[in-house]
Amino acid sequence: MYKIVLITGATSGIGLACARKFAENGDRLILTGRNEKRLDDIKKELNKKGTEVVTLVFDVRNREDVTEKINSLPDEWKDIDVLVNNAGLALGLEPEYEGSFDEWETMIDTNIKGLLTMTRLIVPHMVERSSGHVINVGSVAGDAAYAGGNVYCATKAAVKALTDGLRIDVAHTGVRVTNLKPGLVETNFSNVRFRGDNERAANVYNGIKPLTGDDIADVAVYAANAPAHVQIAEVLILATHQASGSVIFRK
């Protein structure tokens, strides 16, 4: 039986990989993001493979727009089985005392408040049905701070706390809650962090074979399809030569 899966930040990286993997699993997809053309292209790609897709164009930071778009879903798409809170980003590696107020707000509004908005809009319907699954994409950065990570690490620590708190809140229901904590994943994440400096972004992955978006998506699909009595609460996923957020062996 197919599931209806909503994925935020689905136009690239882990979000796009999740879209393709859940499509391969035979699920129906609601894909969200800020880039309408990218969403349309991905929809066409997956439609050709037989996957039903609805796209919603919004920035998770805009609560009013998000609410309007979620409420606009056709009735047959409203019973969302899996919510993948993937939208998130890091900006800069400056010391905390030199950080940008605007970049801090962007990270906090996206990584924390955006996740909360989606959770608040979707999870009540899951609780009513006593069925559903929330998969939050956290990070190894949420376990311990690393140099220059300060605010980004704090947002991912918040994701862990919010995920754990939600799991407690829905323990009396059949709703499951998962925190995926990737380490070094080669996506456009570093390009965004370094504000389009591709050379600096590429250096992040020098000397190590990093994870891919597909690696994380594989775990998400596995968690979503575990038996109903099995809750994959938290998974830390690292490259073989990465031991923690700050310990990486490079050849």
- Of the candidates 146, 152, 205, 222, the residue annotated as catalytic is 152
Separation between Cα atoms, residue 81 and residue 64, nearest integer Å: 23
CB 74 within 8 A of CB 55: no
Name the residue with tokens 């862990």. Answer: 160
On the 0-12 / 13-18 / 19+ scale of CB atoms within 10 A, 76 is exposed
Separation between Cα atoms, residue 13 and residue 216, nearest integer Å: 10
On the 0-12 / 13-18 / 19+ scale of CB atoms within 10 A, 74 is exposed
Question: 146 an active-site residue?
Answer: no
- Between β-strands 82-85 and 4-7, what pairing exists: parallel, antiparallel or unpaired? parallel
Report the C-alpha dihedral over residues 189, 113, 71, 56, rounded to 10 degrees. -10
Residues assigned a catalytic role: 152
